[in-house]
Structure 1
């Protein structure tokens, strides 16, 4: 049971890229804030829809009016005391501005929802960069650990040969230097790994000190779609473009709201209860009904100026969306080129690694046979280490380029 529990815990410590992104989406405060704003905008849109429905209210009050000789002073007063108690039903019969405001609130809710998707993609980008940084540091640290073990074994063999008089002291000192350099490089790699792991732990909102180990990943990369297809896919699912399109709809609705301010409004009202200047009695209950027309006539150009301002805002958003589309296409084109370059570099680094490995093993065999000295071995060792480091960087850069292309299009990794 203890062994089974340990296996489960160890498996839970391995974070794939998809798991890290999903965890970040769940815990990142920026996304939670965007989701709350989206829910708020959705509630506002529902309230705007309800503004066009009939409203039921209760009106009650008592009015005292100053009088002389029993007669009210004000011409509008009904009596010395007026008692009102009514259930009032009001409904907009013709209210184009209310309809336009409801459409505007709905479009603004769509903007907030699209912004949530955009923030989700930003969180995924941040988590992807942090995850790949850990992957690079983890692989680099593991490589230096293997190099250290290899150089330690080489140093011990050379020390035994030196004690038996089979090799010179210079070879012993040179192999000892290789061992010291590998130990120093491993320490630096471990420090770098600890730093990027702390950053990933912060992004994942994990407790301090909790282990962050990445799951093994495949170095096989699927070729991305052709560039025109990526542009087409980005125009359909890129959240930034969806936000821009939703803002365009909201700007059109804003123009409709300003234009509706020139239209008349017609309201109807029905009330049941009492409105009496006498002592209230059951016989005082009755119905009231009315209709109200509100037609704006002159506002010193205020409404027309607001319409013009809304139209200019709409034109600005159209231009901004076209500029954003060009920016996204340019970014995809650039990242596509980066992916091709990194893929080519990855193939070249694989060939270089095979050659460096072969040179190292031949040099080591010559060193053991006494035909070559430790300086030749050190040069071959450094070349092999640099080739392995270059391959690790090339693999991760190629994976990052493929992931970045997916993010450019609007996909989560």
Structure 2
């Protein structure tokens, strides 16, 4: 009895010990604060749906549909289900398995091997239940569960990262589309003005107030403006197709007329602040960083799995049931049978297979460590670049707006002086071309500033928060 107790205590002690390193969270060298930035405010309101801060109903509807219908996001969601099923399998391995088996045989024994010298026919019936259980002596099963749990978390965080990227892509593509539509409208409006200028110049020529060169210059300016249209129309078409793909349009919808409303770029609200988060909080807010850390946890656990495979496994088995030569005797007291046993098996000579598995697992752990550090570095680079890009895009919008206003004033003065005969037609055309270029540049600059704001939301972790388990 004392020996049995000692054996049971030893087994209990071994089953509570897991080989391999326990995961220790890394503490990277992080700055205490972000550089001072005008957009990083103290607004602590609800920023989970940060795209609604642009106050555009069409954009909100597109993001909502993308979250429901985008195929890439659906693939990621199914990967979560796969990881959850694999975790369930690892959890099931903790417990004994109970199986049932039944068999019936009818056998003819020839006289050549019969002990009685005559052939005979025998029957055998058996119904058994088998209970088997593997003692986790070295923590292999525990490490497998740890790895499976981390991979599930990685799938969840990876899906959140895809979701955040998808929202940002929809938002920035929508802004680019509105800018392209505005540029197309500006060019078409300018084309109409150029046509009127050509007609007026032809009237002036007939009255002797102009010359053939001015006519040709007016016509060249008209055709130059007209030549911009095909490329701008193609740009609008491509952006509509890209946006339709992002939000999950069906093939039938893609081949139909794509209509995303008639909202104007100038009507989109620009958020005046973004919630300021500490650099240390970025590690928890960025789902891509969280996913990389969970991959590191899984790789760390797989080292323990590989090390545990060097040692023997102990399997316990119990069998009970009924065996009889006649089916009528099954489940009677004389037909009862049982057996208990244990099986201890492990590698002796595997010619380096186990060692290679351990070295492979350790190499994968080193890779996961480097990828985690890279994810952190990329996250902070994204945040830094987003802050700088927003600042530069904001200054660019203001500079181009002042440029456009100055050119517009110049054009008004040029028209007056041309009517008075103080300047030639070329100077007037130069002012007109300058205004068109400035208006197109201003439209793109406004789109870039809106996109920079969305990118900053993404770099700071968006409106993402820790998913509930």
What interval of TM-score do these two structures reach, taking the shorter chain for normalisation?
0.7 to 0.9
Give yes or no for the alignment of 1:237 onto 2:298. no
**Partner residue of 2:243 out of 184, 195, 200:** 200
Give yes or no for the alignment of 1:212 onto 2:259. yes
Per the alignment, residue 322 of structure 2 pairs with 274
Bigger mean CA offset, 58-67 vs 253-262: 58-67
CA distance in 2, matches of 1:178, 1:15: 39
Give yes or no for the alignment of 1:381 onto 2:427. no
SS at match of 2:323: strand
CA distance in 1, matches of 2:420, 2:367: 77
Aligned pair in 2 of structure 1 residues 184, 307: CA closer, same or farther (>3 Å)? closer
User: Does structure 2 conserve the Cα–Cα contact (< 8 Å) formed by 1:231 and 1:332?
Assistant: no
**Partner residue of 2:189 out of 130, 143, 146:** 146
Per the alignment, residue 83 of structure 1 pairs with 125
CA distance in 2, matches of 1:174, 1:221: 44
Give yes or no for the alignment of 1:284 onto 2:327. no
Describe how 1:229-268 pairs up with structure 2 within 5 A. 229=277, 231-262=279-310, 265-268=313-316
Note the residue ranges of structure 1 that are not aligned, 5 or more in a row. 1-13, 72-79
Per the alignment, residue 6 of structure 1 pairs with none
**Structure 2 length-normalised TM:** 0.72
User: Does structure 2 conserve the Cα–Cα contact (< 8 Å) formed by 1:15 and 1:212?
Assistant: no
CA distance in 1, matches of 2:189, 2:280: 46
Bigger mean CA offset, 391-400 vs 253-262: 253-262
CA distance in 2, matches of 1:129, 1:271: 65
User: Does structure 1 conserve the Cα–Cα contact (< 8 Å) formed by 2:289 and 2:375?
Assistant: yes
Per the alignment, residue 76 of structure 1 pairs with none
Aligned pair in 2 of structure 1 residues 128, 85: CA closer, same or farther (>3 Å)? same
Per the alignment, residue 103 of structure 2 pairs with 61
Aligned pair in 2 of structure 1 residues 103, 161: CA closer, same or farther (>3 Å)? same
CA distance in 2, matches of 1:311, 1:207: 48
CA distance in 1, matches of 2:387, 2:278: 9
Bigger mean CA offset, 231-240 vs 14-23: 14-23
Per the alignment, residue 77 of structure 2 pairs with 35
SS at match of 1:199: helix
Describe how 1:362-377 pairs up with structure 2 within 5 A. 362-377=413-428
Q: How large is the Cα RMSD of the aligned pairs?
A: 3.3
Bigger mean CA offset, 178-187 vs 337-346: 178-187
Give yes or no for the alignment of 1:337 onto 2:380. no
CA displacement at 1:208 relative to structure 2: 0.9
SS at match of 1:211: coil
CA distance in 1, matches of 2:287, 2:116: 73
CA displacement at 1:247 relative to structure 2: 0.7
CA distance in 1, matches of 2:165, 2:354: 40
User: Does structure 1 conserve the Cα–Cα contact (< 8 Å) formed by 2:182 and 2:264?
Assistant: no
Aligned pair in 2 of structure 1 residues 249, 365: CA closer, same or farther (>3 Å)? same
CA distance in 1, matches of 2:255, 2:57: 16
CA displacement at 1:360 relative to structure 2: 0.6
Describe how 1:169-208 pairs up with structure 2 within 5 A. 170-204=213-247, 205=249, 206-208=253-255
User: Does structure 2 conserve the Cα–Cα contact (< 8 Å) formed by 1:270 and 1:287?
Assistant: no
CA displacement at 1:379 relative to structure 2: 1.0
CA displacement at 1:283 relative to structure 2: 2.9
CA displacement at 1:50 relative to structure 2: 1.9
CA distance in 1, matches of 2:245, 2:155: 27
User: Does structure 1 conserve the Cα–Cα contact (< 8 Å) formed by 2:172 and 2:454?
Assistant: no
CA displacement at 1:293 relative to structure 2: 4.7
User: Does structure 2 conserve the Cα–Cα contact (< 8 Å) formed by 1:363 and 1:376?
Assistant: yes
